[in-house]
Amino acid sequence: MKEKIRQRALELGFDDCRFTTAAAPTSAERFQNWVAGKQHGEMAWIERNASKRIDPQKVLPGARSIIMLAANYGTRVERRESRARDFTQRDDAHPSTLDPRPSTALIARYARFDDYHELLGGRLKQLTQFVNQLGGAEMHSLWYVDTGPLLERDFAQRAGIGFIGKHTNVISRRFGNWILLAEIVTTLELEPDMPEKNHCGNCTRCIDACPTAAITAPFQLDARLCISYLTIELKGPIPVELRPAIGHRIFGCDDCLAACPWNRFAREGQMMKKHARPDLAAPDLVELLQLDEAGFKSRFAGTPILRMKRRGLLRNVCVALGNTGDISALPALSQAAKDSEPLIAEHARWAIERISSPGKPL
């Protein structure tokens, strides 16, 4: 039965499918301490569902197994870049910020595709139906794509998908750390796969690469400092002292992921590459700043970026333009400073001040 499920998952386009029990995650105590320390920032849903995250039985009563799925969004380009960094010994540099063109934005790699929630969700629904059919009428299952109250990285390691690296993301020895996770919690009892061991060794490249020192210690992340949190999850103003470190990033950050040496061995995934959005590889910052509501929705329809709304994206674009120091962006920023959305206007004024007075203390 287990192999039938795995084969069906691969047929649907997933790059890996493994199994573990529905026992409580081993990282439960660390997670509770992390939440108690408010390191989750303003992500209130994490604290609100904390009790479910450490007990799968509260997610699905009678759960016996968790089927972990992985979709690899790495490409041959990332593999070549990883090898080039090793060859030139530039591991101390920030991989995603090497030689950027002044006027272009940086978007996290996973967001340069159609929305993975939709791509994986449709296939997960089919796989869940298949699991329930195998188990019989009494079976119950729930599927999630980055939406369920589960410590999915813990289960991914326990199922053997990969191991949790020092940057707190899952690293696969087959796919590097360019992977998206999804899971099915089910009352069907399935034999668990062997867990993966940690293979970080003495490497600290991800820690050294973080622009804001958000990885406060191996396997510890303060989300309040993380650029992915600041540019996506944080809904209000970005702390002034952290804005310069954001550089050209307008949606997420790949620096700790790109620094990982396991990416040298990564294979190219089969599902995501068909849904790449080349237009998001290096969009023009000034052009983005001029988007109205309709233009924003049209430009980012069907991508994860749409979820952050125009106000969030243009807030980030203003910060990125301020960090370029490009005086040619001042007219567009001056117009943005008059935007009816206060969040955009405030960050535009900051960017104007930063470009106009580059030596002035923040």
Amino acid at position 267, single letter: R
Instruction: For residue 333, give the DSSP letter.
Output: H
Based on its alpha-carbon atoms, the radius of gyration of the chain, rounded to whole angstroms, reads: 21
Is 326 marked active-site? no
Residue 5, judged by CB atoms within 10 A of its CB (0-12, 13-18, 19+), counts as buried
Candidates 91, 146, 193, 208; catalytic one: 146
Answer for the pair 55, 248: CB distance below 8 angstroms, yes or no.
Answer: no
Q: Which sign does the torsion angle of CA 157, 163, 168, 171 carry?
A: negative
Answer for the pair 77, 254: CB distance below 8 angstroms, yes or no.
Answer: no
Instruction: Report the candidate in 41, 66, 45 with the shortest Cα–Cα distance to residue 55.
Output: 66
Instruction: For residue 66, give the DSSP letter.
Output: E
Distance of alpha carbon 252 from alpha carbon 238, whole angstroms? 13
CA 307 to chain centre: 14
Give the DSSP H/E element, type plus range, for residue 126: helix 116-135
Q: Hey, what's the torsion of the CAs at 42, 208, 97, 176, to 10 degrees?
A: -90
CA 312 to chain centre: 17
Count of other CB atoms within 10 angstroms of residue 58: 13
Question: 193: phi > 0 → left, psi -120 to 50 → alpha, else beta; which?
Answer: beta
Residue with tokens 């004024």: 349
Indicate which residues carry an active-site annotation.
146
